[in-house]
Each structure stands twice: as C-alpha cells, then as structure tokens.
Amino acid sequence: MKSDAVQGAEAPLLPGARTGRDPARSIKRGPSRLPPAVVAATQRERLLDGLVHTVAQHGYQHATVSDICRAAGVTRPVFYELFSGKEDAFLAAHRYGTGVVIRRMAAAFAAAPDWCTGIREALRALLELLAGVPAFATMAVIEIESVGPDGRREISQLLDRFRVFFAEVPEPPGGVAVEALVDAVVGGVHRSIHRVVDAGRTEELPDLLPVLSLFCLAPFLGPAEAGRRLAAVPGSGAPVRRPIGDDPSCTRIDPQDTGQ
C-alpha cells in the first residue's frame, strides 16, 4: 500500500488506504470533547476502511457486519446508526472511493496541454491510485459484481463518468459512430483493469499505461498516429519531434462534469 505522498498529501484518501483501527482516529471512551458530528464522521470513515479491508479479504458474500465492525473498532449499534446494512455501507464506500478516483483523473486531464497527453495522465492517475490501495481495487473492481442489481448499476454509472474524457475526440475513420466507439474503449479499459486485479496482480496496474494509452487513442487517430503522438509526450522516454498541441484534432479539453 502506498503512502499519502503517492496519493497527495492533502488529497482525500481512498477507503482502505488506512486500517479501520488507525490509532490517529481513535476516540477515547467516556465523555468526548469532540462535537457529535465529528465523532460520527470519524466512525463512518473507520467503518468504510474496515469494510474495504474485510471485503477484500473475505469477499462481499462472506463478509459480515460483525467482521466490518471488528475491523473498524466500531460497535454494531453505531454501524446501524450510520448505515442500513452491509450493502448500504459497501455502496457508500464504492461511491466515495470512485468519486476520489474520478476527481484525481479529471485534475490530471485538465492539467495536461492537450487531449492525447490528458488521456495518458488521467489513465496514469487511475492506475496508480488503484495500485496504491489494492484492497479498494479488489472491492471496487471485483467484489462490486457480487452486490447484485445495485452493484451492476454502480458499474454502469461509473463507466458513464469515464466517457467525459472522450467528449471531443476526433471523428473516427470509416464512419463509425463516436458514441459506440467510446463505449467499446471505456469497456475495454475496465476489462483490462479487472483482469489484472482479479489475478491478484494489482501492483502491476501501472504497467498497463502504455498499452491502455494506445488503446484509447488508436481508434480515433489510427495506430501509427496514436503511437507517434504518445511517443512525443514529454516524459515518455522518446524524443519530442514536434509539439502535440499544434494539431486541432488533439486539443486540450477541460471536463466540466465529473459526476461530483
């Protein structure tokens, strides 16, 4: 698991980045000087962290509320004050965590000078975040499928939020509909990540960056042009042959709606 330095010193942490029993968030027994709202927020954070680690270890179906409370150091009555049940807590952790991921991707995308670089940097943020918190990756990518209809709905809504990064892609060749092509690309990226996480190789996710970057650009630019532009991205290890931003088909886009 990577430290706060990887995720950003002041950036919100993914659920599961800390243990539920993190001493820094302990609440002393007896009368508390902390406002009730602060106590409830701290207990909620600890429960989300405890849930992520419990589900990653045991699987959603076999994780119990008692297991989650034990991992968080929070009592069952407090759990039921904050959540209606295990599924409610799971979906809360998933929504919060994926919101963190999307915002980090959007920030990386918006800071890039052009669309091609933005796609690569958004993917880098995604892969490094998931690799840094394997328990969350397992919970959010694999175990979400065990939740049932609500879990499948969460997956669909999450993939919809990824489409914002393709809002102004160049027209694909051959008269292919842009929307259908974006759907295929987004689904392919998700499946590639799923395969690595499901194999227990989450720490290897950043190794997917070159192939997923090419996979995202090639349908719209052609494989040769996509490879050339990615090779020209500063920091890619290849010499910059010309500025990417001088081509109108590869202009910068700032996502306006990240779903948060």
Q: Which of 43-47, 148-152, 173-177 has the lowest mean pLDDT?
A: 173-177
Class of domain 4-88: mainly alpha
pLDDT at 140 over 90: yes
Residue 94 neighbours by CB distance under 10 Å: 26
Q: Give residue 174's pLDDT.
A: 76
Are 166 and 115 spatial neighbours (Cβ–Cβ below 8 Å)? no
- Within the chain, all domains assigned CATH 1.10.10.60 are found at 4-88
- Work out the pLDDT band at 236, boundaries 50, 70, 90: low
Q: Give residue 255's pLDDT.
A: 41
Question: How much is the average pLDDT of 183-205?
Answer: 97
Question: How much is the average pLDDT of 240-260?
Answer: 40
pLDDT at 243 over 90: no
pLDDT at 260 over 60: no
Are 56 and 34 spatial neighbours (Cβ–Cβ below 8 Å)? no
Q: Which of 37-41, 56-60, 217-221, 222-226 has the lowest mean pLDDT?
A: 37-41
Question: How much is the average pLDDT of 134-148?
Answer: 97
pLDDT in tens, 14-44: 999 998 777 666 666 555 576 778 878 899 9
120 CA to centre of own chain = 15
Q: Give residue 75's pLDDT.
A: 94
Question: How much is the average pLDDT of 116-129?
Answer: 96
Q: Tokens 């993917």 correspond to what residue?
A: 123
Q: Return the axis-axis angle of helices 86-111 and 149-162, rounded to nearest 10°.
A: 10
pLDDT in tens, 191-200: 999 999 999 9
Question: How much is the average pLDDT of 46-75?
Answer: 96
pLDDT at 221 over 60: yes
Q: Please list, in sequence order, all residues whose beta carbon lies within 8 angstroms of the beta carbon of residue 214, skipping any fewer than 6 positions away.
A: 223, 226, 227, 230
Q: Give residue 15's pLDDT.
A: 96
pLDDT at 160 over 80: yes
pLDDT in tens, 99-111: 999 999 999 999 9
- Of the two residues 209 and 40, the one the predictor is more confident about is 209
Q: Tokens 């295929």 correspond to what residue?
A: 184
167-202 burial, b at 16+ Cβ within 10 Å, e below that, comes to eebbebeeeeebeebbeebbeebeeebeebbeeeeb
pLDDT at 47 over 80: yes
- Of the two residues 95 and 240, the one the predictor is more confident about is 95
